[in-house]
Amino acid sequence: MPLRLIFMGTPEFAVPTLVALAAHGHEIAAVYTREAKPSGRGMKLQPSPVAREAQRLGIPVLTPKTLRTQGALDEFRSHGADAAVVVAYGMILPQAILDAVPLGCFNLHGSLLPRWRGAAPINRAIMAGDPESGVMVMKMDAGLDTGDVAMAERIAVTDAMTASDLHDALAPLGADLMVRAMAALDRGGLQLTKQSAEGVTYATKIEKAEARIDWSRPAREVLRHIHGLSPFPGAWCEMPVDGEQMRVKILRCEAANGAGNPGQLLDDRLTIACGEGAIRVRELQRAGKAPMKAEDFLRGTPLAPPLNVA
């Protein structure tokens, strides 16, 4: 028999899992997501991607401000769910909620635990130069991503991958993994393994102060930093244009031949020297403008050495 589930998630990353669980016949009793936020030019309240998908599927949507009240606990229990599935919900689940469903709460996490516990595992894996990443289904406990692991899928991470690329690869992979995990749970055959005490790292939230590019670092570190922050918040630098410093986000780049002082423009194709080696900019974004290819940017804003970015 399919399970009766509560689904808890907020961003686009969580949507494929919700869709896949519903498509495989599980009864989604309710969807919990974060409150609508003002967005766009008119700053109108916009429901989360998960809320929009739940509404399309005809599933009741709840947006509690907290789960730590007796009322919230009573409401959670009232759904009569067998288990809860949590994907990037954005709110800590207190122990009482974890204990409120008989089979437990299961989280889809975008890293190979215990590496990159916490808020930004996709970004941190790329920024650290990891050769692989993946998704894991974990039975939640009161710790930060410390629960026992049920299933995992791995994926190679290349230097060409941005955070957006890795996100888009992991989301459907995770959806399939959670479907398989819930099928095993339904059969009574879901096996859990304790996480290793070795290799624990924390994927702390991305801070805006981290986004400025440090050209004194080796080229591969600069490349991974840029790709790990693309498209949001976007690694940035300042370029001298028409006598003024213009702030530019670099969204995609590649390793390039060349050497010079860190931040030195080496040619008219946006090749920039790093502490060791160089990178060539492939895609960038000026403040208030849409992302564009480097060649399109250079048509309207020709840059040529000698000049330095900072």
Query: 164: part of which helix (H) or strand (E)?
Result: helix 163-187
Q: Are 156 and 132 in contact (CB under 8 A)?
A: yes
3-state secondary structure of 169: helix
Residue 303 exposure: Cα atoms within 13 Å on the Cβ side: 26
CA distance 81 to 89: 18
Inter-residue contact 294 to 269 (CB < 8 Å):
yes
Tokens 């970015």 belong to residue: 309
From first to last of its 310 residues, what are the pLDDT tens digits of the chain? 799 999 999 999 999 999 999 999 999 999 999 998 887 777 788 999 999 999 999 999 999 999 999 999 999 999 999 999 999 999 999 999 999 999 999 999 999 999 999 999 999 999 999 999 999 999 999 999 999 999 999 999 999 999 999 999 999 999 999 999 999 999 999 999 999 999 999 999 999 999 999 999 999 999 999 999 999 999 999 998 777 888 999 999 999 999 999 999 999 999 999 999 999 999 999 988 999 999 999 998 888 787 788 8
Q: What's this model's pTM, rounded to 2 decimal places?
A: 0.94
Residue 282 to residue 35: CA distance in whole angstroms: 36
One-letter amino acid for residue 291 of the chain: P
**Domains, the chain:** 4-202 (3.40.50.170), 208-300 (3.10.25.10)
Identify the pLDDT of residue 45: 86
Structure tokens at 134: 């993946």
8-state DSSP, 104: -
Specify the pLDDT at position 300: 85
What φ, ψ does residue 73 adopt, rounded to 5°?
Answer: -65, -45
